[in-house]
């Protein structure tokens, strides 16, 4: 049984965000489940802030555990 990888992309729906979403979809593997989160939603925007703060709190490769699922946070700024 293959374990699915959950990939979350925070998107504001702008052309740059859409380009990033398409890139993530292109490079993802068959074991990845891509979830695009709408930054226009207040709760999603708050979560994005917390995620961004967490990514700055440690090194580039962030591993955190939420609901017993490993999460990799990869900031796209500067890519």
pLDDT tens for 34-66 read 999 998 898 988 888 887 766 655 544 444 444
Tell me if 77 is assigned to some domain: no
Tell me if 49 is assigned to some domain: yes
- Residue-wise pLDDT tens digits, 1-43: 578 889 989 898 999 989 999 999 999 999 999 999 998 898 9
Tell me if 78 is assigned to some domain: no
Output the 3-class SS for 2-25.
Answer: CCCEEEEEEECCCHHHHHHHHHHH
Tell me if 79 is assigned to some domain: no
Tell me if 37 is assigned to some domain: yes
pTM of the model: 0.63
List, in order, residues 6 or more apart from 24 with CB less than 8 Å away: 7, 9, 34
Domain that holds residue 22: 5-72
């Amino acid at each position: 049984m293959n374990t699915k990888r959950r990939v979350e992309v925070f998107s504001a729906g702008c052309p740059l965000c859409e380009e990033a979403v398409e890139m993530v979809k292109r490079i993802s593997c068959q074991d990845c489940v891509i979830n695009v989160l709408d930054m226009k939603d207040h709760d999603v925007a708050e979560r994005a802030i917390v995620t961004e703060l967490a990514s700055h709190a440690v090194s580039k490769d962030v591993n955190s555990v939420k609901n017993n699922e490993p999460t990799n946070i990869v900031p796209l700024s500067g890519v």
